[in-house]
Copies of this chain bind each other. A is one copy, B any other.
Amino acid sequence: MKIITISREFGSGGRELGKRLADILGYDYYDSEIISAVAKNSGLDAKYVENTLDNHGWHDFPVSFGGTMHSIAYVDASRIDLLVQQKKVIEEIAALGKDCVIIGRNADAILKDLKPFSIFVCADTEAKIKRCRARAREDEKLTDRELKRKMKEIDKARARTRDFLTGSEWGQCKSYHLTVNTGDWDMKALASAVAAFAEKWFEEQKN
């Protein structure tokens, strides 16, 4: 079984890259399907599950230490429950034994014994803003500054969750097999190049 995992910066196009990889390679594709399964299993509203798992749930608790203010990050207990359920869903997906692409959710760390090919997707801030603008809903009119803050917050939450769950550093090249910058690419051409690279990697693992 071949598993490709995609971690990504918000706005970098990682989701589109993953979808295209699944199409090119004929793999199953898992993204919001995971949220739906967690919602179904927990009996909670899908939107609440998505918000809690993907974007929120981290809080800063201010403490004074040695005369300086610091903050300790903590996470809601309800979120930990959902993270455990999400892990179970990802393990169930892998247990199906079918080739697949999984977006986010630290699937690379959760499934590490199955040797997934792990990709991190990044891009320049300018490229990410352009991408977010092109995809924004009509009702979502953020200024550049608000958009930058949103990107930063979401990526920070992702980094914290990864650190909390896996101890491996989010966005650090050593934590993944391949890191691609989507900046200078047409996404279709990039997906084809990454698909060929991943196939060589899976071939290599057989030897």
A interface vs B, CB < 8 Å? Answer: 115, 120, 122-124, 171, 173-174, 176-181, 183-186, 189-190, 192-194, 196-197, 200-201, 203-205, 207
Indicate if the CB atoms of B176 and A181 lie closer than 8 Å: yes
Copies of this chain present in the complex amount to 2
Question: Once bound together, how far apart are the Cα atoms of A123 and B174, in whole Å?
Answer: 6
Report the minimal beta-carbon distance from A57 to chain B, rounded to whole angstroms: 25
Indicate if the CB atoms of B189 and A179 lie closer than 8 Å: no
Indicate if the CB atoms of B180 and A178 lie closer than 8 Å: yes
**CB within 8 Å for A174 and B181 given contacts A193-B200, A200-B192:** yes
Indicate if the CB atoms of A200 and B196 lie closer than 8 Å: yes
Across the interface, name the chain B residue whose C-beta is closest to A175.
Answer: B181
Question: Once bound together, how far apart are the Cα atoms of A176 and B196, in whole Å?
Answer: 20
Question: Once bound together, how far apart are the Cα atoms of A11 and B174, in whole Å?
Answer: 13
Q: Which 9 A-B pairs have the closest CB atoms?
A: A179-B179, A193-B200, A122-B173, A173-B179, A189-B204, A193-B197, A197-B197, A177-B181, A122-B174
Question: Once bound together, how far apart are the Cα atoms of A164 and B207, in whole Å?
Answer: 43
Report the minimal beta-carbon distance from A168 to chain B, rounded to whole angstroms: 11
Across the interface, name the chain B residue whose C-beta is closest to A186.
Answer: B204
